[in-house]
Amino acid sequence: MREISVKALAKINLGLDVIKKREDGYHEVRMVMQTIHLFDRLVITRGPSGRTSSHSYGIRSKGSPEKSAGRAGRITISTNLSFLPVNENNLAYRAARLLMEEFQIADAVDIRLYKHIPVAAGLAGGSTDAAAVLYALNRMFDLGLSKKELMQRGVSLGADVPYCVMRGTALAEGIGEKLTPLPPMVRCPVLIAKPQVNVSTRFVYENLKLGGKMKHPDIDQLIADIREKDLSAIASDMGNVLETVTIPNYPVIAQIREHMLSCGALNAMMSGSGPTVFGLFADEDTAAAAYESMRESGLARQVYLTGIYNTTRA
């Protein structure tokens, strides 16, 4: 296989609770993760030189090709967004290098990344790109790795990468790497809106104050709602403790949430550490009207109307 095109799907958190801060500085979490049908596209090509005519695809290539350590071949990466790194600071690059060094792949690999998932948005955009590269190289070079084996390798790249390999509906525990598959989420329209601010995940966790009167989402009840396929109950029981940090620092998040609710969302909430807000809707017509209203409001820089993605039918 000389070339492969893959989709890298975004995720939302239907529930996000932080249990405690560990001695190593990481936080123990319990999260309900859900894949949505908003995605980046990656086109990966193998060849002896690693040079491809990426400019003919209308995307801008930055920097000079870099070579992996050891016996791995050269990796080049190009993207449609000029501010994205195209070296080892890009998780897609690091994912390619991980497998190429382990399996001593001497062929060059060129990655063309068409980015649509908002960046630094709480949607696992970088992690899902890395997961897509792991999947693609496993197929391209016939490495024979199972999904579980890809997930095990992905955790070294980031806590969300194993989930992005797995996809679907899942309970994430530990630092996010301990995954338990759940029954597929009931399908519904999902409105995504990211304001013109970027949020540091590190800042959010460092300023999270656990204890006291903090309201924690009932993750077990949320899982029960998912099992019952009760969309109204799922929406009602959603919760994200990180909003206690992010919203006071970025009030526009609350404004977006309230706008979605006023437009008929069953509920709306920040995903991950933000600043993206998502809303769940009961029907397509209401969601479509909310999409237009959100675009006209000027509250969000990027607005998408998408839906739930399941690995099996719900």
**Weakest-pLDDT range from 42-56, 150-164, 205-219:** 42-56
Per-residue confidence (pLDDT) for residue 252, from 0 to 100: 97
**Weakest-pLDDT range from 15-24, 63-72, 199-208:** 63-72
For the segment 132-139, the average pLDDT, to the nearest whole number, is 98
Per-residue confidence (pLDDT) for residue 72, from 0 to 100: 77
Would you place residue 176 in the very low, low, confident or very high pLDDT band (cuts 50, 70, 90)?
confident
List pLDDT tens digits, range 139-157.
999 999 999 999 999 999 9
Per-residue confidence (pLDDT) for residue 268, from 0 to 100: 98
**Weakest-pLDDT range from 60-69, 183-192, 225-234, 258-267:** 60-69
Between residues 141 and 53, which one has the greater pLDDT?
A: 141
| DSSP track, the chain | --EEEEEEEEEEEEEEEEEEE-TTS-EEEEEEEEEEEEEEEEEEEEESS----GGGGT-B--S--EE-STT--EEEEEES-TTS--STTSHHHHHHHHHHHHTT--SEEEEEEE--SPTTSSS-HHHHHHHHHHHHHHHHTT----HHHHHHHHTTT-TTHHHHHH-SEEEEETTTTEEEE-PPPPP-EEEEEE-S----HHHHHHT---STTPPPP-HHHHHHHHHHT-HHHHHHH-EETTHHHHHHH-THHHHHHHHHHHTT-SEEEE-TTSS-EEEE-SSHHHHHHHHHHHHHHSS-SEEEEEEB--SS--
Would you place residue 50 in the very low, low, confident or very high pLDDT band (cuts 50, 70, 90)?
very low
Residue 7 has pLDDT above 60, yes or no: yes
Residue 58 has pLDDT above 80, yes or no: no
Would you place residue 314 in the very low, low, confident or very high pLDDT band (cuts 50, 70, 90)?
low
Hey, which residues are catalytic here?
A: 11, 160
Per-residue confidence (pLDDT) for residue 71, from 0 to 100: 67
